[in-house]
């Protein structure tokens, strides 16, 4: 018998969200060479979103908070941009299921009204 390892499930990281579609938005996910899992933090980069790359903060030259979102469901690798659903505001999420979270991302998400709960 073979063992199957289950990856991230759609919205597994999501604890609660605002009524209707207030918490979600449709985003343009830029081309990616690898599949991206639900719960991955993505950052606005030009004409769309790409996986967030953590950066070391510079205390002498603080950067503006990036526009971030949390990918709602798994997306396959693609040579072209693709539409995706993302959590962008007014939600509670499970810290342990977020991919790419650092202090800068956490501060930006909190500023957008996303509450990050401990596991």
Q: How far apart are CA 25 and CA 46, in angstroms?
A: 17
Query: What is the average pLDDT across 45-56?
Result: 89
Q: How far apart are CA 70 and CA 43, in angstroms?
A: 9
Q: What is the pLDDT of residues 54-65, one digit of tens each?
A: 877 667 776 677
CATH of 14-52+66-117, one of 3.40.640.10, 3.40.50.10860, 3.40.50.970, 2.40.300.10: 2.40.300.10
Contact 68, 111 (CB under 8 A): no
The conformation of residue 95, written as its DSSP 8-state character, comes to G
Domain ranges of the chain: 14-52+66-117
Q: How far apart are CA 81 and CA 15, in angstroms?
A: 28
User: For residue 92, what are the CA distances in angstroms to 52, 63, 83, 88, 89?
Assistant: 19, 25, 23, 11, 9
Contacts of 107 (CB under 8 A, 6+ apart): 65
Contact 44, 64 (CB under 8 A): no
Q: What is the pLDDT of residue 5?
A: 74
Kindly tell me if the per-residue pLDDT of 85 is higher than 70: yes
Q: What is the pLDDT of residue 3?
A: 83
């Amino acid at each position: 018998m073979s063992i199957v390892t289950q990856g991230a499930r759609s919205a597994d990281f999501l604890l609660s969200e605002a009524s209707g579609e207030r918490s979600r938005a449709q985003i343009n996910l830029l081309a990616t060479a690898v599949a991206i899992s639900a719960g991955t933090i993505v950052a606005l980069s030009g004409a769309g979103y790409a996986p967030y790359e953590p950066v070391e903060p510079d205390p002498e030259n603080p950067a503006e908070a990036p526009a971030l979102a949390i990918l709602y469901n798994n997306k396959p690798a693609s040579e072209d941009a693709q539409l995706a659903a993302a959590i962008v505001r007014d939600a509670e999420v499970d810290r342990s299921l977020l991919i790419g979270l650092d202090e800068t991302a956490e501060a930006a998400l909190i500023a957008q009204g996303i509450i990050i709960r401990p596991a």
